[in-house]
Amino acid sequence: MNRLILMRGGGDLGSAAAHKLKRSGFDVVIAEIEMPLVVRRTVSYAQAVIEGESSVEGIAAEKAGSMNEIGKILSAGRIPVVVDPGLTLVKQLNPYAVVDSTMSKKNRGMTIGMAPFTLALGPGFTAGKDVDAVIETKRGHFLGQIIYTGRAIPDTGIPEPVHGRGEERVLRAPCHGRVRHERDIGDTVKKGDTICSVDGMPVKAPFGGTLRGLIMQGITVKKGLKIGDVDPRSCKAYCYSFTDKARSVAGGVLEAVLHHLAPIKF
């Protein structure tokens, strides 16, 4: 039986889903863009594109540049990460399922017939039309729910509060330019500390806490892009592990895949 899952996007939610699928016995391949814009780099397999490898909670990913390398990495029990934003490898890989986990809030080329089972995370997709199923990603009563008809709750554009801190915990680029780090993920910061700069303009901590996310050093960003995340709970372990939201969404992905597989004898 084909147990290969192709994930499109290796950010924190997609990585949590890939991790859970891998631990549950599936082979997983992650397709990414050439320069990932992930903020929570310490829990995102997309970082393997930049650093060659990435490890989160005991499961490692490794960058692959060919079908032969993909096979070797899978045989080693790791997750291959390939630069393939257009999913050109679908026909060669012939996966059982394709999961769009880019959280881009719009359909960028997913079609319901590209694999026996297709799945997407969050808003921007219609279950039963664009993909077979959609997983709810908004915190609340329906987080992690499998949607087989219709769409996920629309994106509000407002970050979900953590200990009463909402929009203010998100660091955004003050202008267009190149990012330079002053602090790193896991650092304890005080209100007013300079975390990074964009084209020489400082980005300061809005309150005291732990720097949980920070976009890659040296990357060029647009004004207003999310480039960091300060966690008011001041727990360093949160910087290196999946969130409760990520685990819930990952559980929904695994359940959806197993539900689709249920009529097939293992």
* Beta-carbon count within 10 A of 163 CB: 10
Rounded Cα distance between 221 and 204, Å, is 17
* pLDDT tens-digit series, residues 152-167: 999 877 777 776 777 7
Query: Which pLDDT does position 167 carry in this prediction?
Result: 79
Domains of the chain: 4-155+244-261 (3.40.50), 167-232 (2.40.50.100)
* pLDDT tens-digit series, residues 140-194: 999 999 999 999 999 877 777 776 777 789 999 999 999 999 999 999 999 999 9
List the strands of the sheet with 188-189, edge to edge: 170-172, 226-231, 209-214, 188-189
Q: What is the value of pTM for the model shown?
A: 0.95
Length reported for the chain: 266
Residue 165, strand partner residues: 162
Query: Which pLDDT does position 175 carry in this prediction?
Result: 98
Which parts of the chain have pLDDT scores under 70? 1, 163, 264-266
Per the CB < 8 A criterion, the answer to whether 205 and 168 are in contact is: no
Per the CB < 8 A criterion, the answer to whether 231 and 205 are in contact is: no
Please report where in the chains the tokens 């016995």 appear, as a residue: 25
Query: Which pLDDT does position 263 carry in this prediction?
Result: 81
Rounded Cα distance between 42 and 51, Å, is 12
